[in-house]
Amino acid sequence: MSCSQYQGWCECEAKQMAKLQGRWVDEPKEAFLVGNYFHTHFESPEAHAQFCQEHFQEIYKTRTVKDKTTGLETIIPTGKRAAYEQADKMIDVAERDPLIRSLLDLPGENEMIMTGELFGVPWRIRVDKYVPDGRLIIDYKTVANINELKWSNELREKVTFIDAYGYMMRAAVYSEIEKQFSGSTTDPHFIIIAISKQDYPDKDVLELNHRQRYDYELEQIKERIQQIQRVKDGALKP
């Protein structure tokens, strides 16, 4: 189980089962690709270069040049598409902010995988950056607007992007798995570096640690996970 997969099960069991069986493939949305463009920049130069190569057509404007002698055509990049030019501005804003820069410069491991168990089900998490000294989990988030409130059907009120996209659930799960990984009894620090996609990108650093809220989120998972696992194992129809 992963946080993204768990959210998929809660949204629609039939769709999530179809995804696992390869019968449903989501078309990659531009917002998703831009987020990965941002993430891979901070992962490593090699990861970013590979991502840009794999999504060359989506990222770059191009023109075709034909060799008059051989007749061979070559595709030449002429610049980046608007969404990725904006992503470069977002990266620049993050790197020039002293607090964010200090977090980015902390010695740690990027895209670190940890595994553990919650309520009898194995879980796997991928941490954008893990800093063992101080036990910091750092998550990068690109959002349309940091301060905009969105309607939540579950909570029946307008909420911040933190609640709209289930980041408190993610923080609770990551913290529990990290405690198993580190052998600690106290919660790690869960920090979000948020950068907005506005014309001049906004930025914020948010610490989500809240033990009572973690307990609530974990209780929700406990109530749902056995049903989800039975569907996933084929014992129940989605």
Whether 169 and 221 have beta carbons less than 8 Å apart is answered as yes
For 193, how many CA atoms within 13 A lie in the half-sphere containing its CB?
25
pLDDT digits (tens, 9 = 90+) for 202-223: 999 999 999 999 999 999 999 9
Question: Which residue ranges of the chain lie beneath pLDDT 50?
Answer: none
- The answer to whether the pTM exceeds 0.85 is yes
What is the tens place of the pLDDT at every residue in 133-181?
999 999 999 999 999 999 988 788 999 999 999 999 999 999 999 999 9
From the list 112, 96, 109, 102, the residue with the least C-alpha distance to 195 is 96
- Rounded to whole angstroms, the Cα distance separating 2 from 46 reads 26
pLDDT given at position 78: 87
Whole-number pLDDT of residue 70:
79
3 state DSSP class of 123: strand
The pLDDT, as a whole number, for residue 29 is: 87
